[in-house]
Amino acid sequence: MPENPAEHGPERPLPHDPDLEADEGPDGEPIPVHLSPSFIALVAVGGAVGSLARYGVELLAGTSEGLPVGTLTVNLVGAYALGVLLELLAVRGSDVGHRRTARLLAGTGFLGGFTTYSALAVETDGLLRDGRAGLALTYALATVAIGLVASLAGVLSVRAVAR
């Protein structure tokens, strides 16, 4: 005869996303990360610093013959850095404690503020409106394709060092 699950307390499914549950409240119920003031503050501080860093890079790099080099640079560097960060955190253990703090501050916050796919969209639209469809298509596709390769390179860099 099967056991009665009610004898062992309520059954909770595992989260599908590490951001859905952070800790348990005093009543034993999960506390979503997006409702935790300390986690919100981490993301906000990281995002503010990342946005300032992006602004600095964009001021320094600017554009070259209509190509938004600054935005391209931050998106590709950010993709590589995110690959490195997430793989470093993953090889060290579960997404709890200081690893979760680092992910939210540096990954979601800083790198989320540093990279800018909204600027990619606006700049691609601007290039299209200026009649530079070839450059717009190249810019958009290169950002996504090279960003994917950069993320993978970040992951593989960590794995190579970890051996």
What are 6-22's pLDDT values in tens digits? 444 444 444 456 555 56
Mean pLDDT for the stretch of residues 113-140: 96
Total number of domains constituting the chain: 1
| Residue 8 maps to a domain | no
| Residue 157 maps to a domain | yes
Confidence (pLDDT) at 37: 86
Mean pLDDT, the chain, rounded, equals 87
Phi/psi for 38 (5° steps) reads -70, -40
Cross-strand partners of 23: 31
Q: Give helix 133-162 / helix 117-129 axis angle, nearest 10°.
A: 160
Tell me the C-alpha distance between 91 and 121, whole Å: 34
Confidence (pLDDT) at 96: 82
Domain coverage including residue 52: 30-162
| Residue 13 maps to a domain | no
Query: pLDDT-based confidence at 158, cuts 50/70/90?
Result: very high
